[in-house]
Structures are given as C-alpha cells and as structure tokens.
Amino acid sequence: MSPGPDAVEVVRLLRERGETIGTAESLTGGLLCAALVDVPGASDVVVGGLVAYATQVKTDVLGIDPDLVDARGTVDPDVAVAMATSVHHLLGSDWGVSTTGVAGPGPSEGK
C-alpha cells in the first residue's frame, strides 16, 4: 500500500515541528491511523490510535460525557471535538484528531 499525499504531508509537518498525534476513530475504524503509520518515519510522530466504534467506548474509555451523547448523538461536531481532546490527553500527544459519521446506507440518529 502506498501512503496518500495528505498523510505524507501530515507526517512531514509533524516531524518538522517535533510534534506528535493520536487518533480517536469511530466511522473510519482505524483507517486514519493506518494511513498515517503507512508513511515512512511515522513512528516519530504517531503515538497511537483508539477505535471507539461503540458508544460505550466513547463514554467509558474516552470519557465523553453521556449527557452530551444523549443530547446530540454520536455523529456531532461537539462529540468529535471531545473525542479528539480526550485522545490527546489519554495518549499524551501534541495533537488529537477524531472521526465520526454515518456509515449508511441510511441515516443514523436522524442524520
């Protein structure tokens, strides 16, 4: 597998800055972290990743407020921010990123 240009650029920038990244993924199921670690030199910047596909993992492992999830659902920008913030703290990385969304084919949580 050949790394995509976006992943190459992210790893390059992080290495240049001496910074690290951690991922918290729902919809993508680890594909974001896999894309990053496919880049040569990624071990210098990728701390790790967590797949939080189930709501219980989002609340119990990532510590996302269950009231936020109840009020907004899991496919929500505020939940994505909370996931990214949490993985940043859990892994001790400089950056935390997250993904969430609807896999389809139909809507989920009315979205």
Query: pLDDT over 70 for what percent of the chain?
Result: 93
- Of the candidates 41, 35, 26, the one whose C-alpha atom is nearest the C-alpha of residue 86 is 26
Those residues whose C-beta lies under 8 Å from the C-beta of residue 98, and which sit 6 or more positions away, are 23, 24, 25, 26, 80, 81, 83, 84, 87
Q: Where are the domains of the chain?
A: 5-99
CATH superfamily for 5-99 is CinA-like (3.90.950.20)
pLDDT score for 1? 64
pLDDT score for 105? 72
